[in-house]
Structure 1
Amino acid sequence: MDVHYMWIEERKDKNDNISYAYIERYTCPLTGKKKRVSVVYPNKSRLTQKTAQQYLQDRIDEIIAGYSTAITLSELLDSYIEYHSNFIKVSTIRNLHHARAGLLASIPGETLYQNLTASMVQHAINVYYETHAYSTTKQLLHLFRSALRYNFRLGVIKDISIIERLELKRKPISMIDIDRAKDKFLEPEELKEVISLLEISNPVVAKLCEFQSLTGLRFGEMVALRDCDYDKDNHRIHVNGTLCVDKGTTSQLSRTTPKNVYSIRYVDLDSRSESILESFMLSNKVRELWKHQKRNNDYIFTTEGGYPFDHHFVNKVLKKLNYHKHLSTHIFRHTHISLLAAANVPLKAAMARVGHNDPSTTLGVYTHVTASMNKEAVNAMELVAEKLVK
Structure 2
Amino acid sequence: MWIEKVTTGNKVRYKYTERFKSTLTGRYKRVSVTYGKKTPQVVKTATRELEVKIRKSLSKEQAHETNIELGKLRDKFLTAYEKRVALKTYQTNKNLLDKVVDDIGEHTIAKNITTTYFNNYLEERLYNPKKPLKNSTVRAIRKALSIMFKWAVSHGELAANPIEKVEVNWRNESREKRERIENKYLTKDEYKIIINYCTKHKAFLYRDIIEFQYLTGLRYGELSALQVKDVLQHDNHYFVDVNGTMEYKHKPAKHYKSHSTKTLSSTRQVILSPTATNIVKRNMQDKSPSDWLFSRHIVRSSRTVPVYLDTMNSFLKQASEGIDKHVTTHIFRHTHISNLADLGIPLRVIQQRVGHEDGEITRRIYLHVTKNATDKFNDEVNLIDKTLN
**TM-score per shorter chain, which class?**
0.5 to 0.7
Rounded Cα–Cα distance in structure 2 between residues aligned with 1:82 and 1:149: 15
Matching residue's letter, 1:177: K
Pairing 1:208–2:209 present:
yes
CA contact (8 A) 2:97 2:141 kept: yes
Select 2:294's aligned residue among 277, 295, 301: 301
CA contact (8 A) 1:178 1:372 kept: no
Change (3 A) 1:111 1:223: same
Shift of 1:215: 1.2
- 1:248 match: secondary structure: coil
CA contact (8 A) 1:243 1:256 kept: yes
Change (3 A) 1:301 1:126: same
Pairing 1:188–2:188 present:
yes
Change (3 A) 1:113 1:185: same
Rounded Cα–Cα distance in structure 2 between residues aligned with 1:136 and 1:345: 32
Rounded Cα–Cα distance in structure 1 between residues aligned with 2:339 and 2:75: 41
CA contact (8 A) 1:226 1:298 kept: yes
Pairing 1:363–2:347 present:
no
**Counterpart residue number, 1:349:** 349
**Counterpart residue number, 2:95:** 98
CA contact (8 A) 2:184 2:334 kept: yes
Q: Please identify, of 180-189 and 209-218, the stretch whose mean Cα deviation from structure 2 is larger.
A: 180-189
Rounded Cα–Cα distance in structure 2 between residues aligned with 1:367 and 1:170: 19
- 2:306 match: secondary structure: coil
Pairing 1:84–2:81 present:
yes
Pairing 1:277–2:317 present:
no
Q: RMSD between aligned alpha carbons?
A: 3.5
**Counterpart residue number, 1:125:** 122
Deviation sequence 1:338-388 (CA, Å, 0-9, x none): 33444454444333322235x2xx222432563476478769979999xxx
CA contact (8 A) 1:90 1:247 kept: no
Rounded Cα–Cα distance in structure 1 between residues aligned with 2:348 and 2:118: 35
Shift of 1:249: 2.2
Pairing 1:235–2:235 present:
no
> Could you state the TM-score of these two structures normalised by the residue count of structure 1?
0.67
Shift of 1:188: 3.1
Q: Please identify, of 336-345 and 264-273, the stretch whose mean Cα deviation from structure 2 is larger.
A: 336-345
Change (3 A) 1:168 1:71: farther
Change (3 A) 1:100 1:332: same
Pairing 1:317–2:310 present:
no
Matching residue's letter, 1:364: I
Rounded Cα–Cα distance in structure 1 between residues aligned with 2:376 and 2:343: 20
Higher CA-based Rg = 1
Rounded Cα–Cα distance in structure 1 between residues aligned with 2:70 and 2:150: 13
Select 1:259's aligned residue among 242, 259, 262: 262
List runs of 5+ in structure 1 lacking aligned partners: 1-28, 34-66, 289-294, 386-390
Shift of 1:211: 0.4
Shift of 1:331: 1.8
Change (3 A) 1:349 1:377: closer
**Counterpart residue number, 1:115:** 112
**Counterpart residue number, 1:221:** 222
Aligned counterparts, 1:328-339, within 5 A: 328-339=328-339
Rounded Cα–Cα distance in structure 1 between residues aligned with 2:55 and 2:88: 42
Rounded Cα–Cα distance in structure 2 between residues aligned with 1:276 and 1:92: 31
- 1:267 match: secondary structure: strand
Q: Stretches of 4+ moved more than 6 A in 1?
A: 375-385
Rounded Cα–Cα distance in structure 1 between residues aligned with 2:171 and 2:322: 30
List runs of 5+ in structure 2 lacking aligned partners: 1-51, 57-63, 299-303, 383-389
Shift of 1:274: 1.5
- 2:66 match: secondary structure: coil
Rounded Cα–Cα distance in structure 2 between residues aligned with 1:373 and 1:194: 25
| Equivalent residues, number | 309
**Counterpart residue number, 2:40:** none
Matching residue's letter, 2:112: N
- 2:326 match: secondary structure: coil
CA contact (8 A) 1:337 1:366 kept: no
